[in-house]
Structure formats: C-alpha cells, structure tokens
Chains A and B, each alone.
Chain A
Amino acid sequence: MTTLLEVSGVSVTFDGFRAINNLSIQIAEPELRAVIGPNGAGKTTFMDIVTGKTRPDEGRVIWGEKSVSLLGMSESEIARAGIGRKFQKPTVFEDQTVRENLAMALKNKRGPFDVMFYRRTRHAASRIADIAQEIGLLEHLPRRAGELSHGQKQWLEIGMLLAQDPRLLLVDEPAAGMTPAEREHTTDLLKRAAKTRAVVVIEHDMEFVRRLGCKVTVLHEGSVLAEGSLDHVTKNQEVIDVYLGR
C-alpha cells in the first residue's frame, strides 16, 4: 500500500465561513475509506477540493508517485489524471442511453478531434458490456438513462466511474434513496472496486458504513476529528458528542 493522495493543511473559507480548517487526509492505493460527519463538516467540500471544483486558500494536495500538486490543474485535467467522482444527486445524462453514458465515460482520448473520429471497437463494446454486467444494467443498455429508477441511476453513475478506470474514486452518498437490497448491491460494487484502487465514500448511513467494513474518517467543522475502524471511532467521546449523540 502506497500513498496515492495526500491532503495536508488545507483550509477553505466561504464568505468568512471556514468550511475546511487545516484538513489533512491520506488515502492509500488500494484502499476503501469512509468519510462521515455531521452536516456542514466539509465532506463534500473535501471532494470539491480534490477534484478541482474549489480552490483552497492554503494547503497542499499531492497526487501519485510523482507527487504532483492537483491545485494548479483544471477539473478535466484532474479527471484525466485518474480521479473519478460521483455526485450526491445522481447525475447521468438522462437524454442519452445507458450505453452512450458509459461510452462517454470509457477511458479513451478526450480531445475533440480524437472523439470526432472515434470509431467504436469490439474491445470498447465488450468493456461496456462488462461494466453494465457489473452494475446490473446489461439488459438496460439501449434504454434512455432518464427512464431508469433512482437506484439504477446511482449504479449507472458508479459504472461511469468504473469506465473511466480511475485510480481514485470519490463517491458522495451512493446509497441515498436506495432500498435495502439496492444498498447491499452498492456495497458489493464499492468493495470490489476497492480491491484494485482507492475508493473514498461519503456516507451518512452508519449501517452502510458498517457493511463497508473499512477505515473511517470522521470530519467535524472542517477537520479530522477521529480516524480508525468504525468501532474505534464510535467509541470516541468527541465523536459521540458532535455526531452520534445527536
């Protein structure tokens, strides 16, 4: 296990409100990590910083063996470097088919002219079929993504992440609005993905986190309150006070 992502001493202020306060987190590869914490703890802002959506006021975000800083890179450059992100609300392209959604995400050259003269290959088609199988949407490939159920959209988005073949997956509340059976499938998906890459999951549902069975980071007021196994952090008095006790 080597460190893939290192966030150190990062702070962000929005209109005087300190969303992230001297935050330091390290993610290894491969690793499955859950990030929990009360509302406003800075969980989503943490992802925004890593993916380049938000620029921190101070601190460092270092990526990969070559220790490149992500701070100077645009969102699309960061994505091409190998960081995939799933949003809290399922954001798939509803007007397009499941296959088109996956094809767009599939790891390939991203330049406009590369895409313009792109020809579908048998290899790409079988990759798409594999991913669709993995997320349980194989028979839904020709359907419009907008017709899928909420849970299926969440899976499709996870499938799009897998298609990007990233080294780090940032997954924001994947189980929100899912039925218990769907949650179980989602847990399996994430655990399988984490065998070969780093996966960071933000989640509110403690039961879901327990099933993930991984290291947990508790955020509070923009910095790390506790880190360790779920049992370890749930025994922490501070965590009980600010998060679990409420």
Chain B
Amino acid sequence: MTTQDTAPDIAPRKSFLAANPSVLWFLGALGLFTLCVSVLAEGFGLPVLSTSMVKILGMTLCLCLIAVAMDVVWGYCGILSLGHFAFFGLGGYAIGMWLMYARTEGIVIDSFENAPIPPTQTEITDAIATQIFGVVGSNDLPALWVFAHSLPLQLAMVVLVPGLLALVFGWLAFRSRVTGVYLSILTQAMTLALSLYLFQNDTGLRGNNGLSGLQNIPGLLDVPQSTLALWFFWASALALGLGYLLFAWLVSGKFGSVIRGIRDNEARVRFLGYHVEHYKLLIFTLTAIVSGLAGALYYPQAGIINPAEIAPIASIYLAVWVAIGGRGRLYGAVIGAAVVSLASSWFTGGGAPNVDLGFYVINWTDWWLVLLGLGFVAVTLFFPRGIGGLFDYLVRAK
C-alpha cells in the first residue's frame, strides 16, 4: 500500500479502488465477518454467539477504528501520539451524557405519572439532576450538561469536543515545533491531566463513578439487548468500513505522499514549500475526531465509562496494537487491535486455562501483561513490520 504508484507511465486516471486492491479485500473481509457474526448471533436466531460476545466483537471493531486512526497519525505522519484514547473517551462521555440524561428523564417522568399536580420543567430537571448527581453529593445539573437533553447537539459534541481539543493542543504543540519523544510526552500529559481532572467529583461528570447504564438506549427500552447489540455491531462495522475507506483514500494519493514525507524528513518537506504544521494539525485533528466517533460507538456497548478509561496506559496500548499489527499499513492496525484486544480479554477474562507447572501455577490474568510485553519486544526486534508485514511478504511471494 505504501508504494503502489508503479502504474505504467502516464496513466493518471485510475479509480481509487482499482489502484488499491487491498481496500477492497479489507472491505470484503469486514462484510463477510459482519455477515457471519450476524447470522450466528443470539439476536438473529442462531444462539451461537452470546449477546455479550457480540458486544465484545462490536467493541473490538471500534478499537480497530481508533487503531486505524492511530496508524495514520503515527505510522503515516510520524506523530507518535500517546493521547488518542483521550479523544476516544471524550467521544464516549459526550454520547454517554445524552444516554444517561434521556433515560433518567424517562424514569423521572414516569415517577411523576401519579402525582396529583403535573410537575413543572424545573421540578423535572431537578429530579434528573438529583438522580444523576446524587452519587457525588450534588443536586444541580452542571453547566456542562446544557446540551445533554438533545441527541443532535450531543452528537455534535462527539465531533466538536475531541476535534477542538486536538486542534488547540496540536496548534500549540506543532507551532512550537515540538516533535518526537517530546510530543509523545506532551500527549501523555494531556491524557493524564484529563483523566485526573475527571476523577474529581465536582467536574460535572460524576468523578470516578463515570457514566453508567449506557447500554440502555432511551426510546429503545423495549428492544432486547440481544438485538441492540447487533445494531451497534452493525454500526461499528459500518463506521470501521467508512473510516478505513476515508483514511485509505487520504493516504493513497499525493496527500499520503506528503505526510509520509513529513514522517521521514520533515525539514525537507518544508523546503519543498509545504506548510508542515498545517498538515500535521489536519491529520492530528481528523484522527482525533474519528477516535471520538469510535468512542461514541464503543461505550454504549461497554455500558459504562469512567476516567480510568483514558488513563495514559490506554493510549500506550493503542500504540502497542499498531506496532504489533504493523505500522504504515492500515490493515495492520486493524489486525493488531483485533488480535491483541481479543487476546487480552481472553487471557484476562478467565478464558485461558491456567498452566500448572507443579511448583508454580501460571495465572494468565497476572501473566498476560508479561506475555504482551514479550510479544511487543519480539515484534520490535524481529518483525519491525508487524503482523501486517507478513501479508506484504505473502503478497510479494505470490
């Protein structure tokens, strides 16, 4: 995918998909996977895959989407952001606020059903605030929640909050020409600061309780979870497909050439007359928005979001997935995120049987991180192109 431009001389108008067969392969595989999961899912009839399994798979697709975004920002543009999970979390919070508010609103209105006098709007709002914020000892709806009653506005927040944060952060960082490991540290600081801030009870987002009950979709409370899980799975697959298509288009043409140039030699690109900072800012912001969208699809499936989700380690895992999957190739990021996150839930969720060595029992819940660390070191040392690099090798061998 990186060096596709081997078409014979003067063949300018080749359609994007024809020039990039790997995109079609990916979309085909994704479609097939979606079909298989749908047919086998509990919500469809054949109860092979439990609802929780469908949710895990749907969430995995969201993780694949943020991994693709990470691959664009890091693998293609060379910005090792260790803060993209902050954008993912903010997207989740933004949608979570509406989910929680609208559902609580329904409950509150139901509870007033038998009241002798119909409640005023203020009473309803107060009751909602008490319901949501009682847990952190507050009865007022924070200013942050001013749009929470409206799904369209809160959906706009899913895009705007991560987008604006990335825009401002990126503008400050790139303008000062902060690069390399210093930028990585800054992004870590950003996600850490955000996470610590959200841990406080008085920030208006329920502190360490986070937002919960997100799996209950207001207006769709009669729809069984098994069906909802499938709907979210489809939405996640669609988002991944569209995101993949967008980024594959972006990195395939001249734009891709410029950002890979920035990755390999920023100064040279500058002397060619390109305003490097604008490119970086665009990529950083765009990938942040996609990360926010991925988060907005992820957390309704997870059911709960709290500040621990955007701890610095989450963003580091993201980089590990992309490194294991293979940087600079979008399918590599998808493979890395899927393999590592599914393996992680298998090992830490009690799926993997413990190994009894007689003198010592290997408990995978404890040892998974060691395994992941060894895997990361092995990939870095022996397969710098990651799992995706194997595909390149196979295609070339053919």
Contact = CB atoms under 8 A, between A and B. Distances in A.
Interface of A: 51, 53, 74-76, 79-80, 84-85, 87, 91, 93-97, 99-100, 103-105, 110-112, 115-116, 118-122, 124-126, 129, 141-142, 144, 160, 164
Contact of B271 (A79, A96, A99, A122): A79
Given A104-B258, A125-B10, A116 B271 contact: no
B9 interface: yes
A91 B268 contact: yes
Interface residues of B, number: 32
Interface of B: 2-3, 5-7, 9-10, 12-13, 250, 253-255, 257-258, 260-261, 264-265, 267-276, 278-279, 282
A168 to B, nearest CB: 13
Contacts of A105: 272
A76 B258 contact: no
B12 A122 contact: yes
Contacts of A112: 255, 275, 278-279, 282
B9 A51 contact: no
A103 B256 CA distance: 12
Contacts of B3: 95-97, 100, 144
A163 to B, nearest CB: 9
- In order of increasing CB-CB distance, the 5 nearest A-B pairs are A79-B273, A120-B12, A80-B273, A75-B270, A142-B6
Contact of B255 (A51, A99, A115, A122): A115
Nearest to A144: B3
B251 to A, nearest CB: 11
Given A76-B274, A116-B250, A164-B273, A91 B265 contact: yes
Given A96-B257, A122-B12, A79 B6 contact: no
B3 to A, nearest CB: 6
Contacts of A95: 2-3, 260, 264
Contacts of B12: 119-122, 124-125
A91 B275 CA distance: 18
A124 B11 CA distance: 11
Contacts of A84: 271
B6 A104 contact: no
Contacts of A74: 270, 275
Contacts of B10: 122, 125-126, 129
A91 B272 CA distance: 12
A51 B273 CA distance: 11
A104 B276 CA distance: 13
B210 to A, nearest CB: 36
A76 B276 contact: yes
A112 to B, nearest CB: 5
B264 A93 contact: yes
Contacts of B274: 76, 110, 115
A1 to B, nearest CB: 26
Contacts of A118: 253-255
Given A93-B261, A97-B5, A100-B257, A79 B272 contact: yes
